Structure 1
Amino acid sequence: MQENPGFQILDLTKPIDTAIEIYATATYSDPPFECQEWCSVNDQGFRVSELRLGTQTGTHIDAPAHFDAHGATLEALSPAHLIGRYFLLDLPAYGTIETVTTLCSSIADEGILFIRTPLQTSSCLPLDALIYLLQLAPPLWVVDGSVTIADAPEFTFYQQLAKAGKYWVEDLDRPTAQKIHPNGEIFALPLALVGTSGAPCRVLVRQKPSS
């Protein structure tokens, strides 16, 4: 979608409708998404819909409070950190600390870390590689796909992010995310909720078309 001369705008946001995938396990489920008419143009002269959804519905941002009972909530992140240049880190299916440090050798002053995993699988990292990444400056991570930590409990990746005070955006539209290339800008715009562990988020990338 071409919006600005010389730039390409990519929307990484999953549409939210009744087909949206809701996180669930054998013993837990996030709130379902529901949308129903509250009033109609015929009745009131305007239309309003009533929504029910969770803070992690669809493409969303997570605050440290999502995995840390004492972590910061959404409003603690300055809007200045939600827009800016990103460093694109393409992780392999299995990485090492040496792999990660080499891939990050060219990181400069980008304010957002964009992690992309292989399209058909997740990425598995050792804990020391994750700790290295957490020491990088960007307070906001955008994660396309799934990252696990070798020989660690299920939520270790997220718990370590929360412990480090990072915020992260996830559940992107994966096919569109494959079109992202380095040196672009990202706009991650959540609802301005207060006191929550996250919010649905519109995520756009502006980049120059590949030659």
Structure 2
Amino acid sequence: MGTWRSVDFGPVNRIAIPLTSLSIIALLVQLYIEDGRDDDARKSVRQLELDLEIAHERRLLRASQLGIPVYQRQYSYKDSIPKELERLREESQHYRRLHNAFQSVIIIGSLGTTTAASLADISGMLKWVTVGLSFSVGVSAGFTGYFKYRERSFYLQQTADAIEQHATAFELGIRPYTQDETENLARLTEEIESLRVEQRKREQQLDQPHEGRDGTV
């Protein structure tokens, strides 16, 4: 395994084999993160998010039925902003980590494939190294292209920053929140809800296939 005729492949094997193993292990880890979790776990997270949204809607509905003034309901809405910011940033970091991990597999695998391919005609084992690296690169590129982790992370972070900017401006009483408190609160609620709606539209657009997105532009 380490030699062929008079050629010693020991140094090559010590580089190629760990490189292939590292690339494949990284790919398997990312596949596990994305699809390896059981369906019940993924459903439970989604169910918790849905339950949270339902609870929030019920609170607003109950407040409306009790005849609570609008500005008090808007205060309740404002109090939910920190939790919304935390959710957006956690999701942004999650997608950013996935994107960076897959990009690392692509970079390492591409370099390893080029190196192994240059020696593939000498050793049959290196051909399998090339196949493994090429497969990991292809799968990683497919995942990043289809799920668009970078775009999702960017939009989530952008929305979180915009919401935080409005919340800070409201607390400090600076533009555009320079009116009385009731008007400022109404404007803050309107701006935050507008940002959330825009974020949902972006997520729906990213979930569409390429043909659907091209048709809507």
Structure having the higher Rg: 2
When normalised by structure 2's length, the TM-score is 0.23
When normalised by structure 1's length, the TM-score is 0.23
Work out which structure has the larger RCO, using CA pairs closer than 8 Å and 6 or more positions apart in sequence: 1
